[in-house]
Amino acid sequence: MALSTNKTALSVNLNKIALIRNSRPGNNPDIVEYATKILAAGADGLTVHPRPDQRHIRPEDCYQLKALSAAKGIELNIEGNPFAGPCSSPRNDFSDYPGFLEILAQARPEQATLVPDSDAQLTSDHGFDLSGDNSQLESIIQKIHALDCRVSLFMDPDIEQINFAKAIGADRIELYTGPYADAYARSENNHSPEADALFKLHCKAAKHASEIGLGVNAGHDLNLDNLQQYRDLPGLLEVSIGHALTLDSLEMGLNKTVDAYCKLLHGE
């Protein structure tokens, strides 16, 4: 089931919940139960990022969440480095990492968001540089398409790079909003010339992406504050939010938090 295109969809990233679970033996909090509550509260989709070190989401989480998303009729978005191959588990109680493409092949998510993360990165912090030879990445995109899976590339708001993303077969881009969120956080009274300038740059990139046939997603450090402005990005189809939403839920409660994000994004 496709996410609605007449509103900006909220896909909740479950990484932080899995991080809490992995800090103790057992399965508490249960990722599937938590995801079920998030969907019941109004979220439009689920996002996970299974890294090779399995610091949070594990491969088996992806398969269980696909079963849930299929039952609920919502989208599962799996993020990851497309070049990440199989490797041994970092812990005895974890299964081995089968490689990102194998996870996609088994989970069959509706969307795969490809990110240029290295294993050593704390979090995603830049978009793809597609100015070189992209034949390997283009081949990977074709393989993912064969799984009946939409492909989104994690990108900076750079027109030339977005053109390259289209040329190698991407269906969407996810604009990296980290620098914008940092600038907005430094603003006074929700106004910052730096944040405004970055937002205009993102708007220009989003309009261009739409004009050449790419859908537009966004993510990284978006929250209830900066979304007051960023939700007006032209053609914004989907945002994936995890860190801020998890923190907000500690103060507001899960249901109220998801509801607040949905109302903000859905224009209610």
> Residue 33 in contact with residue 253, Cβ under 8 Å?
no
Residue 208: active-site member? no
Active-site residue (options: 49, 56, 202, 208): 49
Rounded distance between C-alpha atoms, residue 66 and residue 46, angstroms: 9
Q: Let me know if 49 is a catalytic residue.
A: yes
The 8-class DSSP code of residue 41 comes to: T
For residue 51, CA distances in Å to 83, 116, 197 come to 11, 12, 33
Active site residue 191: no
Q: Which of 56, 202, 208, 220 is catalytic?
A: 220
Active-site residue among 79, 110, 174, 238?
79
The region that residue 29 occupies, defined by phi over 0 for left and psi between -120 and 50 for alpha, beta otherwise, is beta
Return the SS3 of 118: coil
What is the Cα–Cα distance from 101 to 86, expressed in whole angstroms?
Answer: 9
Catalytic residue numbers read 49, 79, 220
